[in-house]
Chain A
Amino acid sequence: MTAVQEKPKAVAPSGPPPRRRGKRATALAGTDTLVLALMLGIPTIVHLLFVWIPALGSVALSLSRWNGIGGLEDIEWIGVANYVEIFTEYPRFWPAVQHNLIWLLFLLVVPTSVGLLLAVLLDRELRFSRIYQSALYLPMVLSLALVGFIWQLIYTPDGGLLNSVLGLGDDPVDWIGDSDVNLYAVLVAAAWRHTGYIMLLYLAGLKSVDPALKEAAALDGASATQTFFRVTFPVMKPVNIVVAVVTVIEALRAFDIVYVINKGRNGLELLSVLVTDNIIGEASRIGRGSAVAVILLTISLGVIIPYLYQVFSKENRT
C-alpha cells in the first residue's frame, strides 16, 4: 500500500509532464475510440440502470399510491399526499426519525472518540501493536446481521452474559425485548463493530501527519495535549470528514442488525425498516415507503454532495 505514496516521488525529479488536456481522446484511432467508449460506457450504463434510475424511481413512486403487485397502470398519482401523511399521521415515522438520530449521535460520539483514542495510543513504536490492532479490527469483518446474532447471546434474559455479570440473574433485564433499553443495547453492538473502522481511519490519518509539525509545536512549548488538539487534529481534517460521512451513511443504512433481532419493531423502528417493510414486510404501500426513501435520499445527499465537493475540488487544483 505504501507504493501509492512512493510513486509520485519517483516521478518528481523529471518533473510532472504538462497535461495536454483534450488532445488524447481525439488522437485515438477508430477502434481505440470504440473500445474506450465501451470500457467507459458499459459500466456507466450498469451503474445508472441499477442505482440511479431506481433512486429516481423512488422519487417518482413517492408521489403515487400503489400496492406494488399490480401492473404499472395501477399506479395512482396523488402528489405530495404521502409526505403529508408521513409527517402528520404515520405513527411509526417520528419514532423512526428519533431512533435514527440517536443512532447517529451515538455513533458520532462513542465509536469516534474511542476509535480516535485507540488510534492515538497505537500510533507509536509499541510492542505487540499488530496484535492489538488485529483484535480491535476483528469485529469489522462480521456482517451486522451476524453481530446481531452474536450479541443476542449476551443480551438474552435467559442466562445471557450481561445479566449474569451484572448479578441480575434472578431479576433479568430483557435487553432486547424492553423497548426502553433495546435501542441502546443494539447500539452498543453496532458501535462494537464500528469502532475498529474509525480507529483504522484515524491511524492512517495520524501516520500522514507531518512529524515536523508536531516537533515545531513542541519546540514552541506546546504540551502534548495542546499539540494534539491544536495541531494534529485540525491537520487531519480530511480524515475527520471521511469519518463524519462514513458515520452518517452508516446510521442511515442501519438495518440488518435490527431486522435479525426483531424485524425493527418494539422500540427498534428505523427509517430503513419503514422502507423495506413495504416489500418484504406486512405493509405494502409502495408510495409511502418510497416517500420515506426519498427522505433518506435527501439527508444522505446532504452529506454526499459536500463530501464530493471536498474530494474533487482538491483534484481540480492539482
Chain B
Amino acid sequence: MTATLERPSETVEVKKKRPVTPARVALHVFLVLTCLMTLAPLLWAVYASLRTYEDTSVNGYFSIAKSLTFENFAKAWEIGDLPHFYWNTFLITVPALVITLVLSSMVAFGVSRFSFKFNIALLMLFTAGNLLPQQVIVTPLWRLYRLIELPAWVSESESLIDSPLGVILIHIAFQMGFCTFVLSNYMKTIPYELTEAARVDGASVFRQYWQLTLPLCRPVLAALATLEFTWIYNDFLWALVLIQDGDKMPVTSALQNLKGTFFTDNNLIAAGSLLVALPTLVVFFVLQRQFVGGLTLGSTKG
C-alpha cells in the first residue's frame, strides 16, 4: 500500500486533478482506524465513568448503557477530596515551573552569550543530570531531605521531607537540565550583535538578559512552560517518596489513595482518573503547538 503512495513527486499534476485515489482512501482508512484505536482506552474510560455502578455490575462493562450520568464525577470529586489535591498540585507546580524557567534561562544566557572555558562542561552537566533515572538519586535525596532542618514557618514538618518545598526543589534541580539545554540552543541563534550593541550602550548584564534576551525567547519559553507544566503535574515518584503524609500529596500521586477510597468501583476510578487527567488534556488541546514544539526543539536541535 505504502509503495504506491510514496511516489507523489512524479504525479503532482495528476494528483491535483484527481485527489481521490484508492491509495489515498486506503491511507485515510488506515489512519482513522489507528487514531480510533489510540483513543479507544480513553473513550472506554469516559464511557465507564458515565455509567452507574448498578448498571455495570448487572450487565457488565461491555454492554449498552441503560442511562448515562455525571454522578460518578460529582462523587469522585467529593469522596476523593479532589479540590484539596488539585490545590496541593498547584502549590508545587506553579513555583517549580516559574523558578525552573528563570534559573535555566539565566544559565542558558550566560553560557550562550559569553565564552567561558567551562561552557560546554556546564551544559553537559545539566543535560546529563536531566537524563538520569530518578531512582539513581532518590535514596540519598530522601535521606538528605530528612537531615535538612527548617523553621516551622517554612515547612510544617520542620524538614524538607513531607513539605511541598522539597518537591519543588527537586523539580527545579531536575528539570533545569532540559530547559537549559533547549534555551541555550535557542539563544545561540539570536544574533550576537544584539547584546553587543546593548553592551556598548552601557546596558548591564542583567538588563541584557532580562530586557533583551528573554523577550526574544518568548516562543521557546511558552513551549517549555507547556511541557514542564505537564511533566511536573504528572510527576508521581518524587511526591510519592518525598511526601509521606497522604494529605499533602499532589493529585497525581494521590490517585493511589483514591484507589483505596473507591474500593472496587471501576466507574468511580474512571471518573476520578479523567478528572485528574483533565488539566493536562486542556493544556494539550489549547497549547498543542507549544507542547509539540517544545518536544521537537529538545530533540532535533541537539
A interface, CB within 8 angstroms of B: 1, 3-4, 7-8, 10-11, 17, 19-25, 28-29, 31-32, 35-36, 39-40, 42-44, 46-55, 57-58, 61, 68, 118, 120-122, 124-128, 131-139, 141-146, 149-154, 156, 158-161, 164-165, 169, 189, 192, 195-197, 200-201, 204-205, 208, 214-215, 218, 223-225, 227-228, 238-239, 242, 245-246, 249, 252-253, 255-256, 259-260, 271-272, 275-276, 278-280, 286, 289-290, 292-294, 296-297, 300-301, 304-305, 307-308, 310-312, 315-316
Which of B38-46, B66-74, B78-86, B151-159 binds A? B38-46
- A4-B186, A214-B9, A275-B139 are known contacts; what are 17 more A-B pairs with Cβ within 8 Å? A7-B190, A17-B192, A21-B115, A24-B113, A25-B116, A39-B109, A42-B106, A43-B104, A55-B140, A121-B5, A135-B39, A145-B253, A161-B44, A238-B302, A255-B237, A260-B259, A304-B132
Q: A161-B44, A239-B300, A280-B241 known; A297 and B293 CB under 8 Å?
A: no
Interface flag for B280 (CB, 8 Å): yes
Q: Considering only CB atoms, which chain A residue lies closest to B8 in the complex?
A: A124
- Indicate which residue in B135, B283, B285 contacts A271 across the interface (CB closer than 8 Å): B135
Which B residues are in CB contact (< 8 Å) with A238?
300, 302
Provide the bound-state CA to CA distance between A131 and B38, in Å.
Answer: 13
> B253 near A51 (CB under 8 angstroms)?
no
Residues of B near A3 (CB, < 8 A) are: 219
CB-CB nearest in chain A for B284? A141
Chain B: minimal CB distance from A215 (Å): 7
Q: CA of A280 to CA of B237 in the docked complex: distance in angstroms?
A: 11
Indicate if the CB atoms of A153 and B174 lie closer than 8 Å: no
Q: Please tell me if the beta carbons of A164 and B237 are within 8 angstroms of each other in the complex.
A: no
Contact pick for A1, options B56, B106, B293, B302, CB 8 Å? B293
B172 at the interface (CB under 8 A from A): yes
Is B143 engaged at the interface, CB distance under 8 Å to the other chain?
yes
Give every chain A residue within 8 A of B225 (Cβ-Cβ): none
Kindly state the separation between the CA atoms of A144 and B180 in the bound complex, as whole angstroms.
25
With a cutoff of 8 Å between Cβ atoms, the chain A residues found around residue B14 in the complex are none
B170, B209, B266 pick with most chain A CB within 10 angstroms: B266
Q: Cβ of B270 < 8 Å from any Cβ of A?
A: yes
Structural contact, A159 and B60, CB atoms closer than 8 A: yes
The chain B residues found within 8 Å of chain A, CB to CB, are: 2-3, 5-10, 27-28, 30-32, 34-35, 38-39, 41-42, 44-45, 48, 56, 60-62, 103-104, 106-107, 109-111, 113-117, 120, 122-129, 131-144, 169-170, 172-174, 176-177, 180, 185-186, 189-193, 204-206, 209, 219, 223, 230, 233-237, 240-241, 252-253, 255-256, 259, 264, 266, 269-270, 273, 276-277, 280-281, 283-285, 288-289, 291-293, 295-297, 299-302
Our pick among B30, B32, B115, B137 for the contact of A55 (Cβ within 8 Å) is B137
Contacts of B122 in A (CB 8 A): 40, 44
Tell me if B189 and A4 are in contact (CB < 8 A).
yes
- Structural contact, B34 and A136, CB atoms closer than 8 A: yes
CA distance A272 to B235 in the complex (A): 15
Contact for B143 among A68, A156, A169, A276, CB less than 8 A: A68
Cβ 8 A contact of B299, one of A19, A32, A127, A204: A204
B35 in contact with A143 (CB, 8 Å): no
Shortest beta-carbon distance from A256 to chain B in Å: 4
